[in-house]
Structure 1
Amino acid sequence: MQGSGLRVAVVLDANGVPEWHRSVAESVRALEGVVLTAVIAAESQAARPRVEPSHAALRRMAIDDVVPDVPRIRYATSIARGTSFDVLIDLAGVDLDCHPPYGVWRYGFGDGRPFANGASGTVVRLYRLTADPERAVVLGDGWYRARTPDAWGTRSVAARVAPWCARALQQIAGGDEEALEVATGSPQSTAGCLDMEPPDAPLSRVVAVADTLRTWLRRERWTIGLVAAPIEDILASGALPEPIWLRDQPPDRFYADPFPVACCGDAVRVLVEDYRYHPKRKGLSELEIGRDGRLRRAVDQETLPPRASYPFLLRRDGELICIPETSSADAAMAFARDGATGKWSALGDLVRGFRVIDPTLVEWNGRWWLFCTKQGDEDQTELYLFCAPSWDGPWNPHPLNPVKSDTRSSRPAGQCFETGGVLYRPAQNCARRYGAGITINRIVELTPRRFREEPVLSLLPSPSSPWPDGLHTINSLDDVTVVDGLRVERRW
């Protein structure tokens, strides 16, 4: 790479460029330290859609309308001769006798079902090609859910992955080119993930009406369960025992998102989301649950914000701090508990101007980290990360945000925990539906410039359980682990 910047060329289809390819080129050109030196016009080998795509990101435009001020080069197999690129991004799927220093990059799309135990979705990878056409180095990957009767899907996978090339180039241009080598490892098989374009699955009006009717006829009820074992034992055993489920839950509400406050002999006190069906209202309550599952007491937490959920708890110097989800306030806020009165008082905002979903803090390697998703269409898929010198900030966004795009294992599902010197992060598995299960991730890299984790355990509710339809929070205190379970019920 020369001092003028990282030199990048993009190969586009001369007969028409999908909108998302234009987004790839524009995001590359917007990077500091990167120069988009050429657009190579080629006859694409990718299959063309038979009908006009429903998603705007897949609709085509003239190649002359894409970054028109960037020089054009006519495609030839030996395009490398007489040209000088550091990276070549091939969006047309052509054969190139080209070996730039950082390789030829290409997207691959595939049916996500084989990668998610049959759940409908799309698997995506950004490849660096190798001499073996059946193997490539994976620079980035993700999994996006398709719309199902139980959940909405990603509207446009293409639009979500268009920034991936720019994100990888940003690491190289920033001097962290080793990060790509460390993260990617050896070449992997490209089987099942070779399509040049994502699927286009328009939602018919009939399906939309059926989904609306189905939602009207049923409702979700969550409850709380206790497991007489710490989370480290669950990880070691590789399975979640059937919890002791809450008894005597009022029929007009559900309880979810349990965070343990204290273990008190034969009872456990937990802070939970308390959602009332009529009128639709949610807030936070503290429950006292006997170890036999009996609900002994429920107290509304009126000094915590209304419409809050996911009451993340942090213990610091004998003080109990709650950082609930308050995305409607466009902020993540912290509250301290008065040990004498049980009331909460505001400490201030941790993050403002960002609609934080499920804020989860952890201290690791001398820094504080905040994991979350962002309220919106992809709040079950795209993981965001913030870093700070102290738990109360100042919080700075990670340069690779969103650091992960995977509906199977992104959205936080409880407190991170350490065992054997390794940090683990529970996440929701929303591949089939919101909160269908939990994935325990092992964090491999966590620095101000890098993030990488890998799934090590999947926890799903038993089909024979009285709460068989979901599991989306897990937390542990002392010798008890608390979870929540879902049952989908008919309204009438």
Structure 2
Amino acid sequence: MNLPSPPFPNSRGNTSPLYAPVAPIADPLRIGLLVDGDHVPAWVARIVEQIGNSGFARIVVVVRNNERPRRLSLRARIRTRLRHFAWQQYYQRDSRRRRGPDSPFHARELRPLIGEVPWFEVRPKRRGFVHRIESADLERINATRPDLLLRFGFNILRGGILQLPRHGVWSYHHDDSAEYRGGPAMFWEIHEGNPLTGTVLQRLSEELDAGAVLYRSHAATHPHSLELNRAPAYWKASSFVMRCLRSLAAGEPLRETPPGRCDKPLYRTPGNLKMAHFLARTHLRKARRWVDDRLRVPHWHVAWRHTREPLDPGAPTLSNMRELPCPRGHFYADPMLHMHRDEPWLFVEDFDYRLGKGSLVALPWSDQGPAGDARPVLDLDVHLSYPFVFEWRGETWMVPESAAARRVSLYRARRFPDQWEYVCDLLHGHRAVDATLHEHNGRWYLFANICESGGGTYDELFLFHADTPLGPFMPHPCNPIVSDVRRARPAGRLFTHNGALIRPAQDCARGYGNALVFHRVEELDARHYHEQPLGRLAPEWAPGLDGCHTYARLGDIEVVDGKQPVWRRRVGA
């Protein structure tokens, strides 16, 4: 049944906080910047603005690299340009086509962002690719008493600058340093077909890429565009510094990890032959994809079974699954089971190919499976999916996904299952997906994947908690609790298996909803969260599948959704 839509203003002004508040401190953390010029990329500017607005950290010095540029001979310049001609053509064309107004790489002037802060011009000593800061310049920097330095310029730094601030020099490595050293950043993952692109924030040491890792995250690799591979990863990484600074300001230790050993040789800018092979493969892959997209569609369906031996999260397998039929021109996905007055119901997303959006429907269930036709549940102007239904205080409630509205909204059943009234927003101002509630030890927790700053919605899982499912929900101090495309995004309600609390998640490394990963929740309260991956359910439980992304169980009923490429004419897409 269609109901009036909740208030969905397209405004970022009233935004739910993603992080637990850090009280302003009398002596804020003193931050220094190491840069190459008066302008910085937009993703760096965002970090600087966050520091200035934090209340617990401030910029106290900017150290600008004043090294004279090395000028190669005319012959060397021509030789370099010819050797990397194909790379330059690919990079420039890709940037022109893909770089939009919200790119993290647009230059912004630094001085207006930091106010009256000392700027020091230094000319480092160079040896090969290594920079060392002169002792006189080190004294000037030390006089500003920085607690840490953020490196956004210079070459490889060694020497006294690394020991000068008490928290060291922090630097980004826009690749996973355990797999890729050198450059170009985030290109070789595409070239090699690696499904993962990593980003690391590390504390620098005398040995290259051997410093402690302060933050590490993994995203899915774009199959052919360097710009589209880099942009969301750089925006996402712009939050890493503030996450670490919050821990320092709150007096908590940083979650440092070893860097990992990279046994691969140092990567360099690809020559023309490597680029010729790469471009040939890329154009062939794009041509195949173009044809395939016009002939076939990734079609989701829901499968079910009754069993006395449910899936084991530690070694997940499925068999004897039966497909739930759906109307032509539609697909069903995101199955959720709910017991209403001792009768089981199956809620699903009903996606209409013609309209290009989903609504929610429910089917009554019996010992033999579906016990009637699908009944309309909720249909709004925005796309709806992931119908999370639960019981509380004798009433039935639902939290559907409405990410396009930048809201996580709560509904209450006026008449089950086809009349619902809007109650309130649990989160607002964020593109949150697959919101999943769970009550644990008398407290309510809300899990949701959120795109914080221009990254993707597959990578980072945020957690919130409240006294009741009505909120207000407060951000968990461990946010984000997962920053890994292989196991972040929720894939159904949490459940208990052999006494352990299990959280199902999606593995989106090779594409949206490629597989399911199950985790054992080992610690969950208002201050702590820890989970351990158990097992992975690949899309191999039925012929032709290439994805599965939601799992649910209720008594002896198990449901899961699956995706496979099918001919458009066959399903009416």
User: Which bracket does the TM-score occupy, shorter chain normalised?
Assistant: 0.7 to 0.9
Unaligned segments of structure 1, at least 5 residues: none
Give 1:95's aligned residue.
158
Q: What is the Cα deviation at residue 470 of structure 1? A: 0.7
1:440-479 paired onto structure 2 within 5 Å: 440-443=518-521, 446=524, 453-462=531-540, 465-479=542-556
Give 2:212's aligned residue.
137
Unaligned segments of structure 2, at least 5 residues: 1-23, 70-83, 125-132, 181-188, 271-277
More helix by share: 2
Distance 2:177 2:289 in 1: 22
The reply on whether 1:253 has 2:330 as its aligned counterpart is yes
* Cα gap change, 1:353 to 1:157, in 2 (>3 Å): closer
Q: What is the Cα deviation at residue 402 of structure 1? A: 5.1
The equivalent position to 1:276 in structure 2, one of 337, 343, 352, is 352
Distance 1:324 1:482 in 2: 18
The reply on whether 1:349 has 2:349 as its aligned counterpart is no
* Cα gap change, 1:66 to 1:120, in 2 (>3 Å): farther
The equivalent position to 1:431 in structure 2, one of 480, 484, 509, is 509
Distance 2:335 2:158 in 1: 54
Which has the larger displacement, 103-112 or 60-69? 60-69
The equivalent position to 1:109 in structure 2, one of 158, 174, 180, is 174
* Cα gap change, 1:7 to 1:474, in 2 (>3 Å): same
Q: What is the Cα deviation at residue 246 of structure 1? A: 1.4
Distance 2:41 2:406 in 1: 34
Q: What is the Cα deviation at residue 413 of structure 1? A: 0.9
Q: 1:191 is matched by which residue type in structure 2?
A: C
Larger C-alpha radius of gyration, 1 or 2?
2
Distance 1:264 1:2 in 2: 53
Equivalences, count: 477
Q: 1:120 is matched by which residue type in structure 2?
A: P
Q: What is the Cα deviation at residue 77 of structure 1? A: 5.6
* Cα gap change, 1:111 to 1:44, in 2 (>3 Å): farther
Give 2:17's aligned residue.
none
SS in 2 for 1:435: coil
Give the TM-score normalised by the residue count of structure 1.
0.80
* Cα gap change, 1:345 to 1:154, in 2 (>3 Å): farther
Give 1:34's aligned residue.
57
> What do residues 190-222 of structure 1 show as CA deviations (whole Å, max 9, x unaligned)?
53899999x9x99x9998887565433321221
Q: What is the Cα deviation at residue 142 of structure 1? A: 1.2
* Cα gap change, 1:348 to 1:145, in 2 (>3 Å): same
* Cα gap change, 1:286 to 1:127, in 2 (>3 Å): same
Q: What is the Cα deviation at residue 31 of structure 1? A: 1.8
The reply on whether 1:191 has 2:226 as its aligned counterpart is no
Distance 1:66 1:196 in 2: 35
Give 1:71's aligned residue.
118
Distance 1:318 1:63 in 2: 57
* Cα gap change, 1:61 to 1:124, in 2 (>3 Å): same
Q: 2:199 is matched by which residue type in structure 1?
A: V
More strand by share: 1
Q: 2:215 is matched by which residue type in structure 1?
A: G
Instruction: Give the % identical residues.
Output: 26
* Cα gap change, 1:193 to 1:296, in 2 (>3 Å): farther
Distance 1:226 1:211 in 2: 31
* Cα gap change, 1:235 to 1:196, in 2 (>3 Å): same
Distance 1:408 1:44 in 2: 44
Q: What is the Cα deviation at residue 295 of structure 1? A: 4.7
Give the TM-score normalised by the residue count of structure 2.
0.70
Q: 2:146 is matched by which residue type in structure 1?
A: F
Q: What is the Cα deviation at residue 32 of structure 1? A: 0.9
Distance 1:281 1:121 in 2: 29
The equivalent position to 2:45 in structure 1, one of 4, 18, 22, is 22
* Cα gap change, 1:431 to 1:147, in 2 (>3 Å): same
8 Å contact kept, 1:119–1:431: no
8 Å contact kept, 1:441–1:457: yes
* Cα gap change, 1:119 to 1:68, in 2 (>3 Å): same
* Cα gap change, 1:400 to 1:22, in 2 (>3 Å): farther
SS in 1 for 2:319: coil
Give 2:473's aligned residue.
395
